[in-house]
Structure 1
Amino acid sequence: MSINNITVFTKGRSPIKMLTCYDYWTARILANSDIDAVLVGDSVAMVMHGHLNTVHADVEMIALHTKAVRSGIGQKFIVADIPFLSHRKSLDTAVYTVEKLMRAGANAVKLEGIDGNETLIKHLVQSGVPVMGHLGLMPQHVNLIGGTHAQCRTNEEAGVLLKNAKELENLGCFSIVLECIPAEIAKHVTDSLSIPTIGIGAGPDTSGQILVLQDMLGMNQEFAPKFLKKYINGAELIQNAIEEFCKEVNSGIYPDASHTYAFHKPTIGSCNQ
């Protein structure tokens, strides 16, 4: 999968299918799936490190997980998030951040918002770095907007979002994530662009869909936003397996002979003197 494959999905092809991925063993599984691309998102700070929000992800964290995913994902397309504030200090710092993510194995980077990022986006694209935009709910702005709730609820906000989406396209972004916005707004934006949109909580009419892998596997039983479909109860399945292991160890059922190595005594030959 290449950037050209992703871009061509806008022309009446099958929807783009993306999931987050943070480590080697899940990358191995996704490598053998029909997923088109994966995101090493700053949500790794929450899912894998237990932080309350994404602002705790830094360059080293994203790069480390990107490298692990690249080791297992094969040729699938990797997008890595540019973490909180790492691109707002200076252009040099931003380029260093992106260089580190790309050298770790990313094929592209994702950047939240547009205000103040115009020069950087244009510079990255001109430097050969594919950039994915991100509009709607922007988790790195959680402290500014007072939480993670749906965005773009008024005509004025919809107009601003469409304007920003078109500007991201003009700056050279190859696609845009639309997060937690009304479905009709997401459809209008998608229809107005020549680049694909990837929805999360943005309805069925975007060019593709993305979810956090652990969320769709039901690993966090308390997390249940409106847009999320849990395809299995992963937490319960894993808990049951662990409990079964504990019971079998306590009862002596495991390990049995089929899980035990045999000792073969060496044959001692006779001595001929």
Structure 2
Amino acid sequence: MKVTVNTLHKKARDGEKVVMLTCYDASFAQVMDEAGVDVLLVGDSLGTVLQGADSTLPVTLDEMVYHTRLVARGAKNALVLADLPFGSYQESREQAFASAARLMQAGAHMVKLEGGAYMAETTRFLVERGIPVCAHIGLTPQSVNTMGGYRVQGKTDEDAARLLDDAKALADAGASLVLMECMPAELARRVTETVSVPTIGIGAGLDVSGQVLVVYDMLGIYPGKKAKFVKDFMAGADSIAGAIKAYADAVRAKTFPAAEHIFS
């Protein structure tokens, strides 16, 4: 059955976890689709995991359109969510719409943008024009230079309050999902209980509406040190399809993330 925004909201209301993975091509899209992954995120993380860059900043809109088209060809039932890359939406609401329209025309069903309450008006502008939006708060990789690196966000009371306000503003502006990256589990729980839309966590604890990982990370393909929130699901699996199904099953069974993957 085709996954839609309404499907995701119903899953959250019913207490069923939403399963999301990054995806960059048609072959992986087909495997994930058959494994029952709900959302395929065409992430600008392709800059680091596919292109070998040290951040997501060099990824262009043309590249995102290309990979979105590939994923859309392989996905039969999953919802395709595509990242708006750095520099393609921050200048104006009109720029954001033009960029998002290209991703939707390539086959995306929703776009994701990074940023806090200051992106609320852009979110509203897109939603009012027929483009569903996933908000992304917490660690926002496109802002890595202003954040001083890849660090857990929301650890102080002031920062936690700001992130909670960000989530509220973006949900009120019409965001269909709120993705939270590298945040204390307790803060992510508070956000989930506060906003009226599903929340997706990556390094944000168990008390969210769903989980996402970079597919290369959950297959054990990553350079250097493994991030705290990552689990290698390829270990013990007999195939990539088996590893992806094990991830989906663990998310739905609420056994992933476990205590060792969570920030306090």
Identity percentage of aligned residues: 40
Correspondence for 1:172: 174
Q: How does 1:29-108 map to 2 (within 5 A)?
A: 29-108=31-110
Residue 109 of structure 1 aligns to a residue whose secondary structure is: strand
Q: Higher relative contact order by CA 8 Å / sep ≥ 6: 1 or 2?
A: 2
> Please, which of 143, 146, 157 is the counterpart of residue 145 of structure 2?
143
Q: Which amino acid aligns with 1:66?
A: T
Q: How does 1:1-273 map to 2 (within 5 A)?
A: 1-220=3-222, 222-233=224-235
Query: TM-score, length-normalised on structure 2?
Result: 0.86
1:42-83 per-position Cα deviation (integer Å, ceiling 9, x unaligned): 101111111110111111011100000011111310110011
1:144-182 per-position Cα deviation (integer Å, ceiling 9, x unaligned): 111111111011111111111111111000110010001
Give ranges in structure 2 of 5+ residues lacking alignment: 241-264
In the alignment, the residues of structure 2 paired with residue 10 and residue 180 of structure 1 have an alpha-carbon distance, to the nearest angstrom, of 21
Q: CA deviation at 1:91?
A: 2.9
In the alignment, the residues of structure 2 paired with residue 206 and residue 91 of structure 1 have an alpha-carbon distance, to the nearest angstrom, of 29
Q: CA deviation at 1:221?
A: 5.0
In the alignment, the residues of structure 1 paired with residue 90 and residue 203 of structure 2 have an alpha-carbon distance, to the nearest angstrom, of 27
Correspondence for 1:267: none
Residue 57 of structure 2 aligns to a residue whose secondary structure is: helix
In the alignment, the residues of structure 2 paired with residue 191 and residue 115 of structure 1 have an alpha-carbon distance, to the nearest angstrom, of 18
Residue 232 of structure 1 aligns to a residue whose secondary structure is: coil
Contact conserved, 2:116 with 2:163, CA < 8 A, in 1?
A: no
1:165-222 per-position Cα deviation (integer Å, ceiling 9, x unaligned): 1111110001100100010111111011111100000001010000000100001252
In the alignment, the residues of structure 1 paired with residue 223 and residue 67 of structure 2 have an alpha-carbon distance, to the nearest angstrom, of 24
Contact conserved, 2:167 with 2:191, CA < 8 A, in 1?
A: yes
Residue 116 of structure 1 aligns to a residue whose secondary structure is: helix
In the alignment, the residues of structure 2 paired with residue 193 and residue 117 of structure 1 have an alpha-carbon distance, to the nearest angstrom, of 16
Query: TM-score, length-normalised on structure 1?
Result: 0.83
Q: CA deviation at 1:12?
A: 2.9
Give ranges in structure 1 of 5+ residues lacking alignment: 239-273
Contact conserved, 1:215 with 1:223, CA < 8 A, in 2?
A: no
Q: Which amino acid aligns with 2:82?
A: A
Q: CA deviation at 1:223?
A: 3.8
Q: Which moved more, 1:6-15 or 1:64-73?
A: 6-15
Q: Which amino acid aligns with 1:127?
A: R
Return the index of the structure with the highest Cα Rg: 1
Q: CA deviation at 1:120?
A: 1.5
Correspondence for 2:243: none
In the alignment, the residues of structure 2 paired with residue 80 and residue 181 of structure 1 have an alpha-carbon distance, to the nearest angstrom, of 22
Q: Which amino acid aligns with 1:7?
A: H
